[in-house]
Amino acid sequence: MTSPTAELAPPLDLAPRVRSLDPADFSLPTGREEEWRFTPSDAFTQFMEIVPGAGYVTATGPALVVPIGEISSTWLPIDRPSAVSRAHVSHAVVLDIPADHESTEPIHLRLFATAAVSYEHLEIRFGRFCKATVVIEQPVDAAICGAIVVTVGDGAQATIVNVADSERTQETMLAWHADLGRDSVFHGTQVSLGGSRLRILPSVAYRGPGGNAQLLGVFLADDGQFMEHRLLVEHDQPHCTSNVVYKGAISGDKSHTVWVGDVLVRREAIGIDTYEINRNLLLTDGARADSVPNLELETGDIASAGHASATGRFDDDQLFYLQARGIDEETARQLVVRGFFADIVSRIPDIEWQADIMGRIGTRLGVPAEIAGIDD
């Protein structure tokens, strides 16, 4: 869909109003703010003030763990929790991928927390013209609050897969921002499975023309989980591309997911191409999915812009078709849900990680081992 001119006015200005290193610059959420209106009032309260004895997130693998004072990040927190974390995190995990480096094997970053509540600051820098995939596994046994800051050099082809699959008692709150160089390609895939409550804030900015951001996500909420994904793509450079595809499956009483996709196209962003879609599958009654795609255009001089959102239930005809071939109802449902996620998971450029993530989804759905992997 090319957006009608009606969307040109009035400007909503979806960009966060406050960006600051100082937590005091962000007032405590009341629940009336746009960015907090879907979030349960008792969620994430532990991240609003400094937690005495809080730890930090550290890593195994090829990353360096350095005192926070040694990094030169220009990223500014976007809300109170990310500001609290940035102000108090003692160490950063830093991964530098050299210019022109090409790795076929994905780089696996397994993160650990040093305390029950831990702040995270992860910096990943893709050098110019490098080509690499980084798979991040978030800590499993701690409450995590912080940021992933990604810089993609000119002409680089960068892929990040961020897997949030913590214990079911833990809260996770992560802002992850990618800054795209000229003619670079960034694939950012969020996999949200675990935790009690999860709030993920992916954002993209472009430093030059020709950048291409593919923001993909899968989330699976059941058993009362709350999962919120808020995306912001800010186009202020010409001839860039953004494509956002998030898919969620929600089941169980009181399970609730929120997806908000804000795409902002500034006057300078001529010739850009942007599309965003969120599709949700409600697996049971009582599950709730909020989905709000926002597209704000300050110029009509673009290649194409579109957005879509669809939340549906199981397709009875799909289930019937599978069952009519002898497949029992439970297995048929699992096949349909796995199939629903498969197009996103299959875009992860590594077969083993595809299988790993499909396997995790399968396990959550109770799929027997012999069909738990991705389709072969």
Partner 1 sequence: MSQLVITDLHASVITDAGEREILRGVTLTLDSGRTHAIMGPNGSGKSTLAYVIAGHPKYVVTSGSITLDGADVLAMSVDERAKAGLFLAMQYPVEVPGVSVSNFLRTSVTAVQGEAPKLRTWVKDMKSAMAELQMDPAFAERSVNEGFSGGEKKRHEILQLGLLAPKFAILDETDSGLDVDALRIVSEGVNRYREATDGGVLLITHYTRILRYIHPDVVHVFVGGRIVETGGPELADVLEAEGYDRYVTASA
> Among 73, 243, 299, 323, which residue sits at the site for partner 1 (rule: CB under 8 A)?
323
> Among 5, 69, 105, 325, which residue sits at the site for partner 1 (rule: CB under 8 A)?
325
> Among 77, 340, 356, 365, which residue sits at the site for partner 1 (rule: CB under 8 A)?
340
Determine if 178 is a binding residue for partner 1 (CB under 8 A): no
Determine if 105 is a binding residue for partner 1 (CB under 8 A): no
Question: Whole-angstrom distance between the N-terminal and C-terminal Cα of the chain?
Answer: 34
Stretch that binds partner 1, among 93-101, 172-180, 238-246, 317-325 (CB under 8 A): 317-325
Determine if 355 is a binding residue for partner 1 (CB under 8 A): no
Stretch that binds partner 1, among 95-103, 149-157, 202-210, 332-340 (CB under 8 A): 332-340
CB of 324 to partner 1, least distance (A): 5
Pair 182, 208: CB distance under 8 Å: yes
Determine if 285 is a binding residue for partner 1 (CB under 8 A): no
How many residues bind partner 1 (CB under 8 A)? The answer is 28
CB of 353 to partner 1, least distance (A): 17
Stretch that binds partner 1, among 10-18, 59-67, 169-177, 314-322 (CB under 8 A): 314-322
Token pair for residue 108?
């696996």
CB of 151 to partner 1, least distance (A): 33
Can you give the three-state secondary structure of the chain, one letter per residue?
CCCCHHHHCCCCCCCCCCCCCCHHHCCCCCCCCHHHCCCCCCCCHHHCCCCCCCEEEEEECCCEEEEHHHCCCCCCCCCHHHHHHHHHCCEEEEEEECCCCECCCCEEEEEEECCCEEEEEEEEEECCCCEEEEEEECCCCCEEEEEEEEEECCCCEEEEEEEECCCCCCEEEEEEEEEECCCCEEEEEEEECCCCEEEEEEEEEECCCCCEEEEEEEEEECCCCEEEEEEEEEECCCCCEEEEEEEEEECCCCCEEEEEEEEEECCCCCCCEEEEEEEEEECCCCCEEEEEEEEEECCCCCCEEEEEEEEEECCHHHHHHHHCCCCCHHHHHHHHHHHHHHHHHCCCCCHHHHHHHHHHHHHHHCCCHHHCCCCC
Determine if 314 is a binding residue for partner 1 (CB under 8 A): no
Residues sharing a CB contact under 8 Å with residue 33, sequence separation 6 or more, in sequence order:
none
Smaller CB distance to partner 1: residue 179 or 356? 356
Determine if 141 is a binding residue for partner 1 (CB under 8 A): no
Please say whether the dihedral angle defined by the alpha carbons of residues 336, 337, 343 and 346, taken in this order, is positive or negative: negative
CB of 355 to partner 1, least distance (A): 13
CB of 317 to partner 1, least distance (A): 5
Determine if 313 is a binding residue for partner 1 (CB under 8 A): no
Stretch that binds partner 1, among 65-73, 148-156, 291-299, 339-347 (CB under 8 A): 339-347
Determine if 284 is a binding residue for partner 1 (CB under 8 A): no
Smaller CB distance to partner 1: residue 309 or 318? 318
Smaller CB distance to partner 1: residue 84 or 277? 277
> Among 313, 343, 352, 366, which residue sits at the site for partner 1 (rule: CB under 8 A)?
343
Pair 88, 54: CB distance under 8 Å: yes
Stretch that binds partner 1, among 124-132, 220-228, 301-309, 323-331 (CB under 8 A): 323-331
Stretch that binds partner 1, among 134-142, 150-158, 185-193, 313-321 (CB under 8 A): 313-321
CB of 11 to partner 1, least distance (A): 37
Smaller CB distance to partner 1: residue 150 or 250? 250
CB of 163 to partner 1, least distance (A): 20
Interface residues with partner 1 (CB under 8 A) are 315-318, 320-329, 331-332, 335-336, 338-343, 370-371, 375-376
